Amino acid sequence: MRLFKGDGWKKKRDSNRYSAGTHSFDFGSMSLSASHSPLYTLLALVGGLCLFLLCCVTFFSTSSYPVTVPQSADYDRSVMIEVEDTLSELMKLRSGDTRDIKKYATLFDQALQKYCVDFLQKIHFDREGKQSFMLNVGSTIAFVERGNKFTEHNLLLVTPSGQIAEPNADLRGAEPCPLLNGIFEMGAPDSNIDDAHLRTAPNGKKADGAHLFDHTAEIVEAKQLFSVAVEIFTDSAQCRRVARKMSKETMRVFIFDWHSMVHSDADNRKHKDAPRKKHKYAIGKDGKIYQANDGMLASNEYFWCSKLSAVLNEHWKFGNDDESFSYSSVHAEVERTFDEWFDSSPFDDAAKRK
């Protein structure tokens, strides 16, 4: 089965509230005539200079030139050493015999928060922005891990929408962080980093350029999981009874455990083409999925129906390699939307339509 294809306010003038005769100011015998006092000339020069400066400020503040952003922020060297070590570990967890998606997801989430989000001063992501940021930072790590170089980007900055700023783009509102600085250093054209985990195979090469890291995340995998769950638990009278017996918390744990099982199966490169042995699967009262024998299926401690076992025996595939690293994003989306989905009585509505 195919798996998952992320102004200003105005103030009224008060100058006309009073008549001309109500208030007067007596300047004494001071003369403002240009022929009698040099003060007028001095005031005129100062006024002209102020007007000139005001025009300059107005012109440059409304011009189309992008605001200059520092090429790099100064971060403590100890922080950057931690970032480099973390990135090296993430790349190990992405490739070869050391590949481990779940460990990668945990470390990636920690690194994103500790070495980037906590350093941002003005950007505060909404849910979609955070998911887009996770997707785009993951793409930059994959880009470098495959042996590619940043030949068009002069630096990596994040925008308020969670995208990595495009080469030669207007950088207003974009911000740096230690994690992005570290990724850029590892992928810079003059980088001398020799890491055994950086892939250099020709088919992994990709040219730097526009629209590589400006994706918007659309987390639809959670809805797909919920949809297949409805298909399972409305397939037959036996499956519908199972759904009625499972508590909300049992169903929640099952969905999470199932998502983990799907992801692990899709990422199992060593056995993806090997013949698959069919097993009988059941759900324990704790919500976890178990490979079951006949004795377990006959007891009251496990939930089982034929459709459940059939779906759990299906083989799952990712559309592309980067999808395999969306585990934490999908898990967070399932957690965020589960209550709303379950409280809508999805199994009852689907059963009525059959």
Give the pair of three-digit tokens for residue 287.
């919500």
Of the residues 169, 204, 239, which one is the last residue of a structural domain? 204
The reply to whether 192 and 240 lie within a common domain is: no
| pLDDT higher than threshold 90 for residue 251 | yes
Same domain, 199 and 234: no
Q: What pTM, to 2 d.p., does this model score? A: 0.56
Rounded Cα distance between 27 and 286, Å, is: 90
Q: Does the pLDDT at position 113 exceed 90?
A: yes
Q: Are residues 227 and 199 in the same domain?
A: no
Mean pLDDT of 80-107: 87
- Band (pLDDT 50/70/90 cuts) for residue 67 is very low
**Residue found by looking up tokens 């989000």 in the block:** 117
Domain boundary among 175, 204, 233: 204
User: Is residue 10 in a domain?
Assistant: no
Q: Are 123 and 211 in contact (CB under 8 A)?
A: no
Contacts of 219 (CB under 8 A, 6+ apart): 6, 131, 326, 329, 330, 333
- Predicted confidence band of residue 64 (pLDDT cuts 50, 70, 90): very low
Looking at the structure of the chain, the number of domains it has is 2
The mean pLDDT of 181-198, rounded to a whole number, is: 71
311 and 341 fall within a common domain: yes
Give domain status of residue 120, yes or no: yes
Pair 233, 182 in one domain = no
Sign for the pseudo-dihedral over CA of 246, 259, 179, 117: negative
- 87 and 183 part of one domain: yes
**Residue-wise DSSP of 60-71:** HHSSSPPPP--S
Do 263 and 330 reside in the same domain of the chain?
yes
| Rg of the chain, C-alpha, whole Å | 31
Q: Are 316 and 308 in contact (CB under 8 A)?
A: no
User: What local confidence, expressed as pLDDT, does residue 142 receive?
Assistant: 85
Which of the two residues, 247 and 38, has the higher pLDDT score?
247
Q: What is the DSSP string of 289-351?
A: EEE--HHHHHSSSEE--HHHHHHHTS--EESSGGGGG-HHHHHHHHHHHHHHHHHT-HHHHHH
Which of 111-120, 176-185, 331-340 is the least confident region?
Answer: 331-340
Between the alpha carbon of residue 310 and those of residues 11, 194, 232, 263, 297, the distances in Å are 70, 47, 9, 17, 15
Residue 226 falls inside a structural domain: yes
Condensed to tens digits (0 to 9), the pLDDT of residues 214-226 reads 666 666 778 888 9
Structural domain containing residue 230: 221-353
Average per-residue pLDDT for the chain: 75
The confidence score (pLDDT) of residue 255 equals: 94
Higher pLDDT, 148 or 57: 148
Q: What is the pLDDT of residue 157?
A: 92
**What is the band of 112 on the pLDDT scale with cuts at 50, 70, 90?**
very high
| 159 and 250, same domain (yes or no) | no
Please check the confidence at residue 116 and state whether its pLDDT lies above 80: yes
Let me know if residue 110 belongs to a domain: yes
Whether 213 is covered by a domain: the verdict is no
Q: Check whether residue 156 and residue 246 sit in a common domain.
A: no
